[in-house]
Structures are given as C-alpha cells and as structure tokens.
Structure 1
Amino acid sequence: MACQQHNPANTLVSTTPNHPSTSALTEQNKKIVVDFYEGVFSKHQVQTYSDRYIGTQYIQHNPYVADGKAPFVNYFTQYFKEHPDAKNTIKRVVAEGDLVVLHVHSTQNAQDRGEAVVDIFRVEQGKIVEHWDVIQSIPAESANRNTMF
C-alpha cells in the first residue's frame, strides 16, 4: 500500500470573520485558561471563575475530583479553606488548537518546596470542558543542578 504525502497546498484555511484562524483560536483559548487558572488558583475565587469559564459538561481526569463544575468548585473551595496561603505560579503556557498546557509551581505555604504540576485543559466554544493533570513533588535534593522549572 502506497503512503500518500500531505500537500499543504491542498489545505483550506478559512479567513472569514465568523471563523477565527487556528492561531487566533489558540491564543483565545490560552487567555481563557490563564485567566481561569489565575482566578481560581491565585486569587482563590473558585466560584466566580468556574462560573465564567467551566462548561456545562466538564470531564475531570484527576482521580480525586469528580466530573462536573459543582464537584470542582466544592473540592477547591474546601482546599483553599484548609490552605489559605496556597500559591500557584504559572511558569509556562503551551497551546495548540483546543488544548492548553500549563507548567505550574504549586505550594501550600511559604515553607513548602511544593510540586511541579502540568495541567492540560481542553477548551470548546470558549469554555473549559476537560482537564488532565500530572503532579510531582519537588524533592529536597536532585541528581542534577537543574530546577523543575
């Protein structure tokens, strides 16, 4: 079976005002996710930013949080009551199409070394509809001189 090469000249790109280009949509999705993340995880305004940005159908892949907006709001409202000094600093943002990836330094208080977090969000029609994360504790010692950020 012959392998067919993709010819970029055969790709159609819509430039009509009602259909934003892929790069414009990607940038819009980045802004949505960053504003959501800073609102929830830096300002601790869980309900306000969840109402603004989480879709009616929200799929959660973190095993400690159930699907849906209400479970997200309940979980993190309680978390910030228990950890009022929690701080989350976005170190990197990478986006392509409907996916936005954040590399984050998360701490519970000023004495905490914290965790390196990679959060992946899927955005659909201006709303966050799906989330994955990978979380790794920052060790006291490292085999190299590089940081996790």
Structure 2
Amino acid sequence: MKFSNIPFLLMGLAYSCTTSSALPQASGIHQTESFCPPRAATPEEQRSIFATFSQKFYVDKNVSAALNDHLADDYIQHNPAALSGKQAALDALVPIFGLFETTIVHSAFENGTGWVHYKLVVPGATDANDFSAVVDIFRMNGSCIQEHWDVAQQRPANATNPLALF
C-alpha cells in the first residue's frame, strides 16, 4: 500500500507500538490529567507532559485520551491532507488507530518541541522490507500541544543502502 492511498498517514496516526524505550520518561504527571487549555509550564514539566502524551498515544494506543488531554482546541496541523483543530484530529485518528504497526526508534524533547521517529508497517504488508520511516514533531504552548508537523519516507523496493531510514 502506498502513502498516497492513505490520506492521513502522515498525521501521526495509528500505532501498534512494539517498544517504548526510546520515549522520554514521565515523572510526576498523572495519567488522567488534562493539560489543555494551555497554562504555564517549566521546561522540565513540558518534557514530562510530552512523555505522558507519547506513552498514551504511541504505547498505550489510547488516542482519544492522548488527544483530548494534550491537544489545544486550536491545534495547528501542517499536513496538507489533514485539517487543523483538536476535533479534526480526533475525527481522523480515533477510527483508524491500531491499523498500523510501529516501532519507536528515537524520541526527544527540548526547547518546547518534541519528536518521535518510528518504523511504520502498513497492514497487509507481505515483505519484511515493506515499511516507512516517520517522524512526528510537536510544538508545545505551555502545558499543551499546539502544533504538529510530520515527515515520512517509504523504503524503496530496490534500496541500495541496507541501513537506509534507521
């Protein structure tokens, strides 16, 4: 299946996460706490909030809680195939969460921006080399995720470099 056949693929969607070791660690944040509307947060608090979001979204696969608790109502989406706004993200992601298998490779948070780099396998892939690399980037506004970008690269069938993408 090609990316062009999945309009919301680059939005940071459906995850069946096989590891969380690359995620920043959450500390002192309650899993049921809502972080929006945005309020002031120290860099350490933002790092912990981002780790909590990543855990809910990528590992626990609780997309509804992750988006409801962490996205600003006026969330800005930079993917040309998706609309901005928390409700638009919920409408697009909740129905398809879990369709894709992912493995988190790297994740970090610094200066109000967090990112997650992962391997994405499309459902029904028959070849072990049929995967893509995706990076989701999130900008926080205080305690709340305000903005999202993503980039993706599909592994070509005739890849020359065996280390390509990861």
Relative to structure 2, which stretch is displaced further, 97-106 or 28-37?
28-37
- 1:19 positional shift: 7.7
Q: Is 1:94–2:111 an aligned residue pair?
A: no
Is contact 2:56–2:62 with CA below 8 Å preserved after alignment?
A: yes
Partners of 1:68 and 1:139 in 2: CA distance: 33
Quick one: which of 92, 103, 107 aligns to 2:121? 107
For 2:110, the aligned partner's letter is E
Partners of 1:72 and 1:100 in 2: CA distance: 18
Partners of 2:101 and 2:45 in 1: CA distance: 25
Is contact 1:42–1:87 with CA below 8 Å preserved after alignment?
A: no
Partners of 1:95 and 1:39 in 2: CA distance: 16
Q: TM-score, normalised by structure 2?
A: 0.64
- Who is 1:126 aligned against? 143
- 1:35 positional shift: 3.2
- 1:86 positional shift: 1.6
Identity among equivalent positions (%) equals: 28
Partners of 1:31 and 1:19 in 2: CA distance: 10
Of the two, which has the highest radius of gyration? 1
SS of 1:51's partner is helix
Query: How does 1:73-84 map onto structure 2 within 5 Å?
Result: 73-80=90-97, 84=98
Q: TM-score, normalised by structure 1?
A: 0.70
The CA RMSD over aligned residues, in Å, is: 2.4
Partners of 2:41 and 2:132 in 1: CA distance: 39
Partners of 1:30 and 1:110 in 2: CA distance: 35
Query: What runs of 5+ residues in structure 1 fail to find an aligned partner?
Result: 1-17
In structure 2, the CA distance between the partners of 1:126 and 1:110, relative to structure 1 (3 Å rule), is: farther
| 4+ runs deviating over 4 angstroms | none
Highest relative contact order (Cα 8 Å, sep 6+), 1 or 2? 2
Partners of 1:34 and 1:148 in 2: CA distance: 24
In structure 2, the CA distance between the partners of 1:19 and 1:89, relative to structure 1 (3 Å rule), is: closer
Partners of 2:76 and 2:114 in 1: CA distance: 15
